[in-house]
Amino acid sequence: MNSIELNTLKDTLNKQGYVIFNLENSEQNLLDIASLFGKIVPGDNGALVQQLLAQEKGNGSYGAFSYSVGFNQFPWHTDTAYWDIPIRYLMLASEKPSPCATLARTFDSLSSSIEDFLYLSERAVYQLDIPGKRRVLTPIIRQKGMIGFKFDFHIYKPVNNEAKKLNELMLEQLKLDSHRIVWLGNNVAIIDNWRVIHAREDAHNDKKRILKRVYINELV
């Protein structure tokens, strides 16, 4: 990848909130490409390249999406929404084609479609529903003069009326419209995790689906 191609991808990522491109079938290449965008950050298990497997309900880590919903559609979420400051970008890669797409929608789009979206987001209060980590929080991220969002319909439990209303309106909109990131084999998506909420489609038609994920902080 030359500097012109890289800058074009970064521009698209900044403008659109996500970018999709092709990648060689190599884990090392995945890390090499990720490092061109920003500093790689390990996941909770310490791995730089995390494998996301479709699994039967009850399998996998307790509290993980697969453990709770199995092959059904994953709840809409941003990654590491339980961190105080969530990871900024995530790279997702598939080495094989899969009919099970990743769904994505920008918070800008939701804000344009939902009256008082920012008002509700600033006033919504949720309880983080993770044993040992329960605390109240809001979905707003404020960093270096910008506003981002963190959200997880699985572990964010509404506390006040604003949170309940925001959930209701967001779910209505997410059912109406979203972008499908289709995995064609050896393609990659980088998602701005503060600007885009995403989900996995029902995986019953591809129970062997595997994505690889790399966390990235600010762009370089």
Least reliable range by pLDDT among 26-35, 67-76, 168-177, 208-217: 26-35
Whole-number pLDDT of residue 63? 63
For residue 201, give the DSSP letter.
-
Quote the pLDDT of residue 24: 67
CB 126 within 8 A of CB 139: yes
The sign of the torsion formed by the CA atoms of 185, 186, 187, 192 equals positive
Percent of the chain with pLDDT over 70: 96
- Beta bridge partners of residue 97, listed in sequence order: 184
Q: What is the pLDDT confidence band of residue 155, given thresholds at 50, 70 and 90?
A: very high
**pLDDT by residue (tens digit) across 5-23?**
899 999 999 999 999 998 7
The pTM assigned to this predicted structure is 0.93
Q: What are 66-80's pLDDT values in tens digits?
A: 778 888 889 999 999
Q: State mean pLDDT over 93-120.
A: 95
For residues 43-56, average pLDDT: 91
In the predicted model, what is the mean pLDDT of residues 81-104? 94
**Measured distance CA(186)–CA(87) in Å, rounded:** 24
Task: Say if residues 179 and 103 touch (Cβ distance below 8 Å).
Answer: yes
Q: For helices 3-16 and 27-37, give the axis angle rounded to 10 degrees.
A: 70
Question: Nearest-CA neighbor of 91 among 170, 8, 198, 1?
Answer: 198
Residue bearing the bigger pLDDT, 95 or 113: 113
70 or 26, higher pLDDT: 70
pLDDT, tens digit (0-9, with 9 covering 90-100), for 107-145: 999 999 999 999 999 999 999 998 888 999 999 999 988
- Position 171 pLDDT exceeds 70: yes
Asked whether the predicted pLDDT for residue 58 surpasses 90, the reply is no
Q: Identify the CATH homologous superfamily for domain 3-219.
A: Clavaminate synthase-like (3.60.130.10)
Query: Distance between CA atoms of 100 and 67, rounded to whole angstroms?
Result: 18
* Per-residue burial over 33-58, b = 16 or more CB atoms within 10 Å of its CB, e = otherwise: bbeebbebbebeeeebbbebebbeee
Which residues 6+ apart lie within 8 Å of 78 measured at CB? 86, 149, 150, 151, 152, 193, 194, 196, 197, 198
Average pLDDT along the chain: 92
pLDDT grade for 64, boundaries at 50, 70 and 90? confident
Distance CA 158, CA 156 (A): 6
* Tokens found for residue 205: 């038609």
